[in-house]
Amino acid sequence: MPTTASVVAAPVEAVPQEHPAHPPPFVVDDKWLPPNAKALVFDCDGTLLDSMCIHLEAWKATADKFGIQINAAGMVELAGKPVHELLDIFAARSGVEVTPELRQDFFNTKSKYYLDHAREVEVIDEVVEIVKAGAARGLPMAVASGGTRKHVMEGLTSTNLLSYFKAIVCGEDVPNGKPAPDAFLLAAEKLGVAPGDCVGYEDAALGMQAIRNAGYLAAVDVTQLPAYPHLKD
């Protein structure tokens, strides 16, 4: 699969530059929407939705109650894994045993926190422009997320994005989380399009690897978009 490399030349001397009051409008060109794509598959949190900060707040607020340490770097490192795997990893790093009772209490608490704040979630505008461009071309589209269906559906519904997608694949729909290709393969199957004709969109390294493992036409890293909102502690 072809890759794109960026080359930045260092100036010989510093030259003051004038910056426009407003950045140029984002254009969905072939880099973001390959002309030979027959279907588009998007991750949800951090790709379609600027929701990672609220997810991080929910994880941290809940984890504090159980003596588990979580930070933004850890979330970025493991983004895309199923939530139950995330809990196991963070708990092990903190020396906390995850009993069935703790697991249930943890996710009940975290889910309530997230849903209480879900209406604060906004879309990532440039990704939505890609979605709209795909819709204008008549391309079938799906979501492939490692999140729970309850949270994914709430996010897509509250931001009026749900109607763009023919299929929604969530963490509980597949046996193996990212970087395994399961979610992206199932999304392609539900769209009725061969994986090699699909383009996948992701914000996380594990998700990008999952797209490649699925044999997609292209894996697009949305964190390279000009106005992408990067997660911070």
Which pTM was predicted? 0.78
DSSP state letters, 126-159: HHHHHHHHHHHTT--EEEE-SS-HHHHHHHHHHT
Given a contact cutoff of 8 angstroms between Cβ atoms, the answer to whether 57 and 113 are in contact is yes
Between CA 76 and CA 80 the distance in angstroms is 9
Q: Which residues of the chain have pLDDT under 50?
A: 1-20
Between CA 49 and CA 168 the distance in angstroms is 14
What tokens does 72 get? Answer: 């933004």
Strand 122-123 and strand 198-202: the pairing is unpaired
Q: Is the dihedral of CA 25, 31, 32, 36 positive or negative?
A: positive
Question: Domains in the chain, please, with CATH?
Answer: 39-51+121-224 (3.40.50.1000), 52-119 (1.10.150.240)
| Chain segment 124-159, per-residue pLDDT in tens | 999 999 999 999 999 999 999 998 898 899 999 999
Given a contact cutoff of 8 angstroms between Cβ atoms, the answer to whether 90 and 74 are in contact is yes
Coil, strand or helix at 69: coil
Phi then psi dihedrals of residue 50, to 5 deg: -85, 65
Cis ω before 179 (30° cut-off from 0): yes
| Chain segment 113-131, per-residue pLDDT in tens | 888 887 888 999 999 999 9
